[in-house]
Structure 1
Amino acid sequence: MLYIIVCDDEQKQKDMIMNKISKLTINREYIIKGFEDADEMVEECSKLNGEFIFIIDIVLKNQQDGIKTAKIINEKFKQSIHIYITSYLNRVTDIFNTDPCYFIYKPELDLRLHQAINKAVYLLDSKKKKIVFHSGSDEIVILVDKIYSIERIKRYSLIHCEDKTFKVKENFQQIYEQLPQCFEQCHRCYIVNFQKVKMHTKNDFILANNSLIPISRNYKNQITEKFQIFLSKEV
C-alpha cells in the first residue's frame, strides 16, 4: 500500500493539502494521513507496512525541523520519497542535503502538487526496477536506484554503485537503453545518474559518493541542457 503522509503544524494547512491530494488522479491505490507533529508522524508511520510519500513543511513548531525530520525518514523508511513544502524561501539551499523529490512553494501549491506526487510515484517505481547483468558465469541483479554511473572499458561495462563496482559483459549502449530518464550519457565512455549528482562543474559531475564523472566536449552543451531540465523538475 502507498501512504501519502502530510506533516504541517498548522491544522488548516494540513487539512487543505490533504483535501487537494484526495481530488488528484494518481495511478496507485493510496491512503492519506496527516500529522501536525513530526515525532508523532515518524512513530506512527513506523507501525505501517508499505511505501511512503512524505510531504513535509520545512518550518515546524516546538523546535522541530522538517529537514532534520527528512534525514530521519531517509534512515527509517527505505521505500519512501519526500517532498518539501513551505511558505519561506530562506532555507532552500539546505534541502538538497536530504535528496528531496520536489520542493513546493506554498503559493504555487495548486500548480506543483500533482506534478510532485506523480514524480514521487515514478521514483518509487524506479527504486524497484532491476536489471540483470552477467559477469563471468554469474548473474548479477542490481536495483537501478543503486547505480551511480556506468563506464565503458573496451568490451566490458563497469557498473559503479555507492561503494562497489561490477564488471559486466553487457554492451554499454544496450544498458543505456534499459535505464530510466534520470540517466544520461555525458561522455563516449560514461553514463551518469542525475539523481546522484552533488555538483556540476564545467567539465565534470561530482556524485554523492565523491566520484568524478567527466563531461566530454562533444556532449557538453546537450548534457548541460538536460541537467538543467532535470533540476527544473526537482523544484
Structure 2
Amino acid sequence: LKISYDFKEHLIPIDSILYIQSSKRVCEIITDDKIYRCYKKLSDFPKELPEYFARCHQSYIVNANYIASYQSGQFTLTNGAIIPISDSYAKDAKNLYLMNFGG
C-alpha cells in the first residue's frame, strides 16, 4: 500500500496492516510495529486492499487475518485492540468473520 504523508512516500506491506482508523481527515494505518498517517478518505482504501479487509465502522477498516474474536458490536484483534462494529456495517462484519473463521 503506497501512501504519502509529510512529503514522504511510504510503502506498507499489506499483510502487516492490522486495521485502518480515520479521525477527522487523517487516516492512521496500524501495523504490527508502526503507525502510519496519511490524508485520505477511508472510503478510498477498499479498492486498494484485498477482500480480507472490510469496513466494520464509519471510522474503521479491519484485516480479517488479525481478528482474534468477534462478539456483537466489536472485534478483538490479536494485538488486543478492540475495533467497534457499527449497526450499519454489522452484517458485513459478521459475514467477514464467518467466511474467515467459519463461526
TM-score by length of 2: 0.91
Give the whole-Å Cα distance in 1 for the aligned partners of 2:40 and 2:89: 23
Give the whole-Å Cα distance in 1 for the aligned partners of 2:6 and 2:17: 20
Give the whole-Å Cα distance in 2 for the aligned partners of 1:175 and 1:212: 20
Letter in 2 for 1:135: Y
CA contact 2:21–2:59 (8 Å) conserved in 1: yes
For residues 188-209 of structure 1, the C-alpha deviation after alignment (integer angstroms, 9 at most, x for no partner) is: 1100000001111111111111
2:36 alignment counterpart:
166
Letter in 2 for 1:183: F
Give the whole-Å Cα distance in 2 for the aligned partners of 1:174 and 1:225: 21
Question: Which structure has the larger Rg over C-alpha atoms?
Answer: 1
2:7 paired with 1:137: yes
Say which of 32, 49, 58 aligns to 1:188. 58
2:46 alignment counterpart:
176
1:229 alignment counterpart:
99
More helix by share: 1
Q: Percent identity?
A: 26
2:84 paired with 1:214: yes
Aligned length: 102
- What's the CA shift for 1:165? 1.1
Flag as ranges the 4+ runs of structure 1 deviating above 2 A.
none
TM-score by length of 1: 0.42
Root-mean-square deviation (CA, aligned residues, Å) is 1.2
CA contact 1:134–1:170 (8 Å) conserved in 2: no
Give the whole-Å Cα distance in 2 for the aligned partners of 1:222 and 1:182: 12
1:197 alignment counterpart:
67
Give the whole-Å Cα distance in 1 for the aligned partners of 2:53 and 2:6: 26
Give the whole-Å Cα distance in 2 for the aligned partners of 1:205 and 1:147: 15
More strand by share: 2
